[in-house]
Copies of this chain bind each other. A is one copy, B any other.
Amino acid sequence: MVAEIVSVGTEILLGQIADTNAQRIGQLLPEFGIAHRFRQTVGDNLERLTEALRLALSRSDIVFTIGGLGPTEDDLTREGIAKALNDELIHDPAIEEHLRDLFRHRPEAWVGSQLRQAMRPRCSTPLPNPNGTAPGLICEKDGKVVIALPGPKGEFGPMLDGPVREHLSRLAQGGAIASRLLRVCGIGEAAVEDRIRQLVAGTNPTVAPYAKAGEVHLRITAQAKTREEAEAMLEPVARQIRAAFGSALYAEGDRTLEEVVLELLRERRCTLALAESCTGGGLGFRLTSVPGSSDVLLGGVVSYSNDAKRSLLGVPEEVLQRHGAVSAECAEAMAEGAARALGADWAVSVTGIAGPGGATPDKPVGTVWIGTFGPGGARSARFLFRQGRQGVRERSIQQALILLRERLLEA
């Protein structure tokens, strides 16, 4: 079975946004043994969209469209699919009801053009969209399938991972692929690859390293006749990888580093407090992205100013005067102060110079101190990151999680 993606949107052609949705579909298809040979991108133009869809339908069994399902006049994907499939658009009262329901609490925002979203090709089945207005569509005609997905990431992702994944597993028969993700932190990509060079050179299963900010993901992929056979080929390779990395391998599958850290705290029935300076709340934002984090994370202080470090975290004036806000002493006092202020068992702190301003001769841009506080007292470590303001902040958050995990594993 062969699939093809047609991304719709002038903003993609003009390079205003990266087409990460198409990337996600590309990652998904191998799981179902579905081949994928072409991707097309077209602007918001009915004629060219229809041309692209006709070409895709002529050579592929499944065509994904991304975007162009909104309420405005340049949202043309519904029309394009109907034309390319020689189908007609019909009005769907159930979709209209869903739309009117969404606007019940803000009737002033309802405009007539919303009703465009209640139209769909006759051959289509709507996919519910709990995160937005336009439903997705699965259109089936003349042995071809067109799957239309909305562009906004918050709507696209859940629809792909939910109903689309389910539909694909029904469509895909024959050869299968299984894969597993292993997550390693605290070791650079080249060093990771060096440690498992033989595995990376393998062909089936393959092991592909993907460098992320401050961690490396290893994807093992095996091909076989059935999903079960492919699955069985993964474990021996996973075992070799586990042996090679020990505790640096922090999780397998979808679990993120923040989930692992929260879970370690939960297992120990411990609570956590945060003290953030240059990351401005980003560590808290990342930890609280995990549902249920509130049973472990009590809260934190964003101490962007020295005053806040003194008044909310009790960092001694003398520490700030003698060592400065970016120092081991300050990082440790911040962590200890956060634990005390919030009554938490553990705390982690970040203080650094994200740049572009603020550097001194002995503290260049990218200098970051991370403090941890727990049953064994306060500790700190210095880092020098070189990835620009936002990169320095993201690496700091990552490193804070890595250090906290290391201490929790010792405890």
A158: chain B residues within 8 A (beta carbon): 388
Residues in B with CB closer than 8 Å to A18 are: 18-20, 23
Where chain A touches its partner, the secondary structure class is mixed
A280 to B191, CA, bound (A): 34
Report the nearest B residue to A282, measured CB to CB. Answer: B285
Give the complex CA separation of A52 and B38 in angstroms.
9
Contact of A279 among B111, B274, B285, B303 (CB under 8 A): B285
- A298 near B307: Cβ-Cβ < 8 Å: yes
A362 interface contact, C-beta 8 A:
no
The reply to whether B300 and A302 contact each other, CB–CB distance below 8 Å, is yes
- Whether A131 contacts B52 in the complex (CB less than 8 A), given A152-B211, A288-B281, A312-B312, comes out as no
With a cutoff of 8 Å between Cβ atoms, the chain B residues found around residue A360 in the complex are: none
Q: A314 contacts the other chain (Cβ, under 8 Å)?
A: no
Known A-B contacts: A71-B190, A280-B281, A299-B305. Give 4 more (CB < 8 A): A13-B39, A72-B200, A308-B342, A312-B342
A→B interface (CB under 8 Å): 10-16, 18-20, 22-28, 30, 36-45, 48, 52, 55, 70-74, 102, 105, 109, 111, 113-114, 130-132, 152, 154-155, 158, 188-191, 193-194, 200-201, 208-211, 213, 219, 274, 276, 278-285, 287-289, 291-294, 297-305, 307-308, 311-312, 341-343, 354-357, 384, 386-391, 393-394
